Structure formats: C-alpha cells, structure tokens
Amino acid sequence: MRNAPTILHLDMDAFYAQAEQASKPSLRGKAVIVGGLGPRGVVATASYEARAFGVHSAMPTAQARRLAPNAAYLVPRFAFYRRISDQVMGLLRAVSPLVEPLSLDEAFVDLEAGGAAWDGESARLAGIRLRADIRAVTGLTGSVGLAASKMLAKIASEQAKPDGLVLIEPGTERALLGPMPVRTLPGVGPATGDHLRRAGITTVDELAEAGEDELVRLVGKAHGQGLYAMALARDDRPVVAEREAKSVSVEDTYDVDIHDRLRVELEVKRLAERCVRRLRGSGLSGRTIVLKVRRYDFSTLTRSETLRGPTDDPAVVREAAGRLLDSVDTTGGVRLLGVGVSGLADFTQEDLFAQAAGEEPGDGAEEEDPGETAVPQAVPAEHRWSPGCDVVHAELGPGWVQGSGLGRVTVRFETPESEPGRVRTFRMDDPALAAAEPLPLVRPRPAEDAGTHRDGDLGDGEGIRTAG
C-alpha cells in the first residue's frame, strides 16, 4: 500500500435519478425512481428523496411502488447517461492518465500518476477541484473517497455520500475498518455475510481475529485469503487505465411469458440489432454470438456459435442468433431473452477485405447509426411512450412522457433550462407528436459554478470529512 492517500474513487450520486432531475425541472427535489416498470421490473437507481421512503436499487419495482406510490417512475435513458458519463470521465482523464472506469458513474483515479497529488493535502485539494469541475460542467454532484488503496478509497466514497469527500489518513485504516460490518468489504455479499454470521463473525475486527486458516476453512482458499488481507487493510491493486471488455450483450425480461414462437423470433432479431448498435458504439466487433433463454420454469439455456472472423454486421449477428434459437425448445413460455457477442476485437474481417480491395469499409451497404442512441424513428413502438422518454410536438416543442395507456399519452413540456412545464394529453397516434433525442443538460452560469479551482471551496453540498 502507498504512504499517501493518492488513490481517488468517484461515485456519482444516484446518477440516473440525478440526471433525470437535472433534465426535468418538475422533478427536482422530488422522489424519482429509474428502472424497469413492469411487474418483474427492478429499481436501477432511486433519488435520495425516494430513498427516504426505503426504496433502494435492485428492489422490485412493485415493492417500490408500495413504499413510494407518489414517486416519478421512469424508464432508463442509457444513451443520455452515457453522454454525461463521457463528460465526467473526460474530466478525470484531465487529472491523470490512469483512470479505471467501473461503470458509467464510478471510477478510480491514480492521482500520483498525473502529478496531481503526492500527499494528503494535495490529494484533498485535487478531490475538491474535481468535484467542483464535475458540478460546473454537468450540473451533477459526485462523492469522492481518497485513500492509499482502491478498497479503502471505495469505502471512503461510500461514507462521503451524498455530495461529499472523505479522506482516510494512512495508518488509520485498521482502526477505521475494525468496527465495520463484514458486508462493508468488497466481495462480501448476502450469502458470504450470512455464512460468516453463523460462524460468529460480524465485524471486520472479528474477521482479522479469526485468522487466515479459519477463514479458508469457512469460505475456501481464494476467498478466505482475500478476506483476511482485506481485514488487515492490505490492498496493493494498481489503478488500471484500460479494462478490456470481454463481451457486449443486451437482454430483456418480459412482464408476461412469451408463448408465441414467432414473437420469440422477432424479439431475438430486435435484441441482435440492439447488441450490434452497442458493439459499434464501442468501436468493437466479435467472433462468438451467444443466445440466452430463460424459460417459464426459470431454467436458463445458453447457446453460442463462433464465426470465422470478427463482425459487427447486424445481418450476420441476426442470422447467427436465429440459428441458435432453432436449437432451443421454447414450449411452455419464455421470460427472458438475451443476445451477446464475445471474442471481441477492434476490427472486422469485412474491414480487412475492403482495405485489400482498395475500398472504404462499408461501401455498398446501408450504414447504420454507430452509436447507442437510436434515431427517433428507430424507437420501438411499444417503448416510444414509456414514462420518461423524450418527445417533441410540432407546435408545443420538446417534452417528456409522464404516462400512457388506453390509447392516450400524457406529456409534460419542459426543457432542462425552463421552469416546470405544463401537461397535455394526446392520442398515441397524434401525427404532431414524435419520439425525440434527449436534450443536453445546460451548463450552469459562471456565477453558479461551485468554486471551480478555488482551494477549499466546495460550493453547495459542503462535505469534507477526514476519517481517522
């Protein structure tokens, strides 16, 4: 481990929900829940206003509705979140060349590598500046943890939430970790936690006291050794700038089991096309096509086919997924379908053939949108009027769907920089209403920038704390 707290962990606060609140003035300060909205849907993110009712991520949406019936329930807009994430990751890379993204809203940063920090005070100031810059550019807040290791930096950022900064001083790690529950440690989920509890181990101190041999006996060699090292605050993992993706995949869980074989085939084709859009958006191609089918009895089947070379051709992926489906019995119903591509590469076999012939890749073929954001006409009809989706009216301008049903759709007309807007209801087939691209968040005015680059100024959400 290092001698200075120069590893930073950033975690954006309730990212999806916060992005929706910033995008929709009428939802600011209100309970917002983002996730699947059907009977089998789960919560992806809940705003802090919703968490006050006991709602949390991974909770079934039906349970969340019982706890917070008056909250706004919205479908995720991943292309919109990715655009904000790209801005945030760009700010991190301006601080250091060693940035390890963990998800759209979370990353480690090695402050030493970029010369941004070399001791506790310089690390603290770097964290302050970073939080202010993120707020100035995106209007959103993030929490920062600073420590001498990745494990402790992540624990610190969790303590900092929401909208704060916590620095763990080197030498205080054991005392800080000791009284914490074992579930605080990475990799200790409900099953491992229950197993340790039955053995009388509930805190990190008790893990350390149990000893490595006892932990290996309880949970196996690799996990036991890892738990013992974490209990002693040992973590020498470096920040890795590039985390190579192993696969790209998409899947859908259906509110009602699908029994119609033709419908299953159409869903597989649709998933294949979504998968290719995501693949192309990452600048990748792949050789192995994977189909995932979860049947009515919860049994899950996977089938795969490896091609002669990597591809990002939607027709090739569709056909391969269709062939894989031919080998699966869907009698009785299907509750989940997924299509993925693995064996990834940053080129395609078709590219190589085109270059050898002196042509530009893609000549002679209709080019598809390479990003994850579908053009409005490409939005499936069944999702076009989902709560939270962007729309535009020929006369009233941009807005978002508040709800739909019985052939009607209710729209609130507002933009990120407007006052809370008015609500109107239309027929779903109203020709003046169409799906639209998300509007970008508007950067705050200079006077509202949260003290960018001014040492010690956190702006709104004061929250510097030092652990230990």
One fold for 175-231 and 376-435:
no
pLDDT of residue 441: 86
Task: Choose the catalytic residue: 20, 49, 100, 106.
Answer: 106
Tens digit of each residue's pLDDT (9 = 90 or more) over 335-359: 999 999 998 875 544 433 333 333 3
What was the pLDDT predicted at 108? Answer: 96
Is residue 437 annotated as a catalytic residue, yes or no? no
- Which option is the CATH number for 376-435: 1.10.10, 2.30.30, 1.25.40, 1.10.260? 2.30.30
pTM metric for this prediction: 0.71
Q: Residues 202, 205, 210, 211: is their CA dihedral positive or negative?
A: positive
Give the CATH architecture of domain 175-231.
Orthogonal Bundle (1.10)
For residue 447, the model assigns a pLDDT of 38
pLDDT at 244: 63
Sorted by where each begins, the domain ranges of the chain are 175-231, 258-356, 376-435
The predicted pLDDT at position 430 comes to: 93
Give the pLDDT score at 377.
Answer: 35
Residue segments in the chain with a per-residue pLDDT below the cut of 70: 242-245, 346-384, 442-468
What is the per-residue pLDDT for 37?
Answer: 86
Whole-number pLDDT of residue 384: 65
How far is residue 113's CA from residue 96's CA, in Å, rounded to a whole number? 6
Q: What is the CATH number of domain 258-356?
A: 3.30.1490.100
Closest CA to 412 of 396, 436, 428: 396
